């Protein structure tokens, strides 16, 4: 179990929509990500990247194929078992931030830690790492989109998931901050042993990743360094 890949997708297939609008979102996707690996996924809009993250995060089930996370088959867990599995093993930083409106930035991190059974969340250090110490006492409604995104990243880093799934972390950030945030993710992979899968359009930050994969029309392939 401990030596199992953090994420294993085998021959994953997914179609979405009905009738004429039916599209192949994932077409025989295979992917293996080991603990401590930082993998980026690039590709055009509509190519299936979000669908891949949803399946890799046990948020939805494929039509066919197999999904294993840290050695456990999660392909067809019940909704309640999937929710529990996610809570115990996964971290998410998704575009539509899902911060709790009534909580301050610091409280978002504390709550995440409490839910995961961690009492020792280094809230101040994490907020400092995403340059948000000065907004520790602010609620999401008092923050900009980029600031909310950074709190979401700090919250994900408050936990030590086996697998961290990240959707466009730099979309609302300037260039310098983008590098800082992606460096934090890379460090979490190297030092914390978390496997990180990041969807991004930002080719600037790909140098921080161990591997870059490209999704085109639901098919996933490895990009050689010379193609970046």
Nearer to ligand ATP, 48 or 91 (CB): 48
Q: Does 45 bind ligand ATP (CB under 6 A)?
A: yes
- Please report how close the Cβ of residue 104 comes to ligand ATP at its closest, in angstroms: 30
Q: How far is the CB of 217 from ligand ATP (least distance, A)?
A: 9
By the rule CB under 6 A, 51 interacts with ligand ATP: yes
Give whichever of 113 and 218 is closer to ligand ATP, judged by the CB atom: 218
Q: Least distance to ligand ATP from the beta carbon of 43, Å?
A: 6
Per CB under 6 A, which region of 1-9, 44-52, 127-135, 138-146 contacts ligand ATP?
44-52
Binding mask 7-26 for ligand ATP (x = CB under 6 A): ---------xx-----x-x-
Which one among 48, 57, 152, 169 touches ligand ATP, defined by CB under 6 A? 48
Binding ligand ATP (rule: CB under 6 A), the pick from 42, 47, 97, 123 is 47
User: Do the strands 23-33 and 7-16 form a parallel or antiparallel pair, or are they unpaired?
Assistant: antiparallel
The answer to whether 184 touches 157, Cβ cutoff 8 Å, is: yes
How many residues form the binding site for ligand ATP (CB under 6 A)? 12
Q: Burial-class residue 211 by CB neighbours within 10 Å (0-12, 13-18, 19+).
A: middle
Name the minimum Å distance from CB 72 to ligand ATP.
24
Out of 4, 13, 34, 50, name the contact with ligand ATP by CB under 6 A: 50
Looking at the Cβ atoms of 50 and 72, the one nearer to ligand ATP is: 50
Residue closer to ligand ATP, measured from CB, 56 or 154: 56
CA distance 165 to 182: 13
List interacting residues with ligand ATP (CB under 6 A): 16-17, 23, 25, 43, 45-51
């Amino acid at each position: 179990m401990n030596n199992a890949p953090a994420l294993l997708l085998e021959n994953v297939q997914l179609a979405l929509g009905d009738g004429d609008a039916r599209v192949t979102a994932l077409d025989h996707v295979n992917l293996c990500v080991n603990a401590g690996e930082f993998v980026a996924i690039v590709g055009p809009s509509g190519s299936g990247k979000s669908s891949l993250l949803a399946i890799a995060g046990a948020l939805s089930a494929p039509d066919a194929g197999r999904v294993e996370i840290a050695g456990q088959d999660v392909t067809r867990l019940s909704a309640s078992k999937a929710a529990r599995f996610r809570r115990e093993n996964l971290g998410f930083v998704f575009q539509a931030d899902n911060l709790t409106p009534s909580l301050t930035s610091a409280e978002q991190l504390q709550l995440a830690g409490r839910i995961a059974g961690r009492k020792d969340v280094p809230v101040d250090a994490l907020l400092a790492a995403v340059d948000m110490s000065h907004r520790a006492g602010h609620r999401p409604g008092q923050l900009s989109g980029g600031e909310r995104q950074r709190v979401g990243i700090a919250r994900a880093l408050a936990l030590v998931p086996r697998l961290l799934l990240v959707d466009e972390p730099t979309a609302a950030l300037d260039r310098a901050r983008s590098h800082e945030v992606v460096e934090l993710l890379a460090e979490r992979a190297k030092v914390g042993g978390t496997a990180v899968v990041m969807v991004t359009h930002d080719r600037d930050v790909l140098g921080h990743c161990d591997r870059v994969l490209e999704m085109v029309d639901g098919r996933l392939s490895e990009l050689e360094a010379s193609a970046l």
